[in-house]
Homo-oligomer: A and B are copies of this chain.
Amino acid sequence: MATTRLDRELKKGSAELLILSLVETRARHGYEIGKLIEDRSGGTLKFNVASLYPLLYRLEARGWIQGRWVDKAGQRRRRYYKLTVAGRKVLGAQRTTWQTFAAAISRIAGVQHA
């Protein structure tokens, strides 16, 4: 079946919310974030690296996450990102936004959410 494009677009809109959520309780590096999203969604959500990394840079440039390089023997260097104070506020706002949108869409599209 042809991809409806809806799924792709949906990923775009929720990308920031997903990333901010994952670095909420602890610092994580890019690759880990990508894998976590894929795994926890059961393969439903999957980010291309060419989308994921630029997104991380953007979030850092906005001051919502803070990156730190970590070198460890026997490993490629990783950049760990953690949520900033400003990012925490944004995350809270985005969670509310998400719920509002999900409710509105479900109502108009006639989708019942469990």
Contact = CB atoms under 8 A, between A and B. Distances in A.
Interface of A: 1, 4-18, 21-22, 24, 36-37, 40-42, 44-45, 90, 93-95, 97-111, 113-114
B14 A5 contact: no
Contact of A12 (B13, B21, B36, B104): B13
Nearest to A25: B110
Q: How many copies does the complex hold?
A: 2
A94 B4 contact: yes
B9 A9 contact: yes
Given A13-B12, A13-B13, A99-B113, A105 B45 contact: yes
Contacts of A41: 104-105, 107-108
Nearest to A17: B109
30 contacts: A4-B90, A5-B16, A6-B94, A9-B12, A9-B13, A9-B15, A10-B97, A10-B98, A10-B101, A11-B13, A12-B12, A14-B101, A14-B105, A14-B109, A17-B105, A18-B105, A18-B108, A37-B108, A40-B104, A41-B104, A41-B105, A44-B101, A45-B101, A45-B104, A45-B105, A98-B106, A98-B109, A102-B106, A103-B114, A113-B113
